């Protein structure tokens, strides 16, 4: 069965989370660009730490907090969400503690995060929209509105825009 490329209709209650997924995909692109540009891995490691603490970790916590209301405790989808978030955290920790020469950790992180975001957008959110009661989705939106602060990515230097000159 072929997947459609048409954008999926997102329930407005889940839109704040989808917007942050855009930040996550941009983070993945920045890591790819940094590797392509020959950026110092210590700079990229600092960016991974910054992004985790300021955007990704709060996003994962918020997602689990708010989406848990829409899923049964023993739901395999709920378990997968939590497991993938724990895996992302473990990958971030490996990048932070890893060898200064290990570019592969950055690749694994960006690939796994991109796959996770695609899964949430293409499978998790449509699933939630199909099983959750409209009133629960509406309440979810209100909770997100109340709890959700827009996050920004203001990391400097913007290594993804600058190619390192060879000596």
Determine the pLDDT at residue 167.
Answer: 52
Q: Evaluate whether residue 167 is within a structural domain.
A: no
What tokens does 45 get?
Answer: 């490691």
What's the rounded mean pLDDT across residues 53-65? Answer: 93
DSSP 118-147: HHIIIIIHHHHHHHS-HHHHHHHHHHHHHH
Give the containing element (helix H, strand E) for 37: helix 15-37
Q: Evaluate whether residue 155 is within a structural domain.
A: no
Distance of CA 3 to the CA centre of its chain: 22
Q: Which residue has the tokens 């449509």?
A: 126
What tokens does 26 get?
Answer: 């941009």
The total domain count for the chain is 1
How far apart CA 73 and CA 79 sit, in angstroms, is 8
Q: Evaluate whether residue 118 is within a structural domain.
A: yes
Q: Evaluate whether residue 2 is within a structural domain.
A: no
Q: Evaluate whether residue 7 is within a structural domain.
A: no
Q: Evaluate whether residue 84 is within a structural domain.
A: yes
Q: Evaluate whether residue 4 is within a structural domain.
A: no
Show the domain range for 79. 13-149
What's the rounded mean pLDDT across residues 56-61? Answer: 94
* Angle at the Cα of 17 from the Cα atoms of 13 and 23, rounded to 5 degrees: 150
pLDDT greater at residue 137 or residue 166:
137
Give the containing element (helix H, strand E) for 92: helix 76-97
Determine the pLDDT at residue 138.
Answer: 92
Question: What percentage of the chain reaches a pLDDT higher than 70?
Answer: 90
Cα separation values, 67 from 16, 73, 97, 104, 143, Å: 13, 11, 31, 32, 11
Query: What does the pLDDT look like over 71-128, one tens digit per residue?
Result: 888 889 999 999 999 999 999 999 998 776 789 999 999 999 999 999 999 999 999 9
Q: Evaluate whether residue 67 is within a structural domain.
A: yes
What's the rounded mean pLDDT across residues 42-68? Answer: 93
Q: Which residue has the tokens 């700079």?
A: 43
pLDDT reading at 1 higher than 50: no
- Residue 88: name the closest of 57, 64, 58 by CA: 57
């Amino acid at each position: 069965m072929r997947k459609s490329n048409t954008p999926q209709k997102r329930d407005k209650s889940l839109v704040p989370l989808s917007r942050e997924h855009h930040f996550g995909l941009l983070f993945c692109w920045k890591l790819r660009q940094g590797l392509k540009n020959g950026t110092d891995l210590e700079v990229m490691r600092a960016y991974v730490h910054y992004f985790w603490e300021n955007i990704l970790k709060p996003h994962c916590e918020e997602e689990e907090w708010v989406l848990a209301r829409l899923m049964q405790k023993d739901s395999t989808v709920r378990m997968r969400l939590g497991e993938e978030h724990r895996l992302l955290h473990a990958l971030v920790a490996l990048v932070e503690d890893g060898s200064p020469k290990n570019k592969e950790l950055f690749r694994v992180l960006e690939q796994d995060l991109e796959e996770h975001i695609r899964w949430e957008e293409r499978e998790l959110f449509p699933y939630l929209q199909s099983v959750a009661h409209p009133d629960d989705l509406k309440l979810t939106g209100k909770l997100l509105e109340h709890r959700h602060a827009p996050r920004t990515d203001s990391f400097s230097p913007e290594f993804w825009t600058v190619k390192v000159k060879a000596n």
